[in-house]
Amino acid sequence: MGSMSIWHWLIVLVIIMLVFGTKKLRNIGSDLGGAVKGFKEGVKEGTDKAAAESSSAKTIDVDAKEKS
């Protein structure tokens, strides 16, 4: 049970195509692509919001006085 050759993978692919059909596989592929695209957009929006919040944050400079 060593590594699988290209012929093994081709046989597995043919069996999957016979079981699910090409239309279902196409739908699964498009759904998966849409999910990945949505995830990337969500991550991009999250980093954009974080950058906007950090740039709009205000800092307060104060001088600390020692207790006497």
Half-sphere exposure of 12 toward its Cβ, with a 13 Å CA cutoff?
6
Structure token digits, residue 4: 């699988």
The DSSP letter of residue 1 is: -
So what's the pLDDT on residue 45?
85
Q: What is the pLDDT of residues 18-57, one digit of tens each?
A: 998 888 888 988 999 999 999 999 888 877 777 666 666 6
pTM of this prediction?
0.48
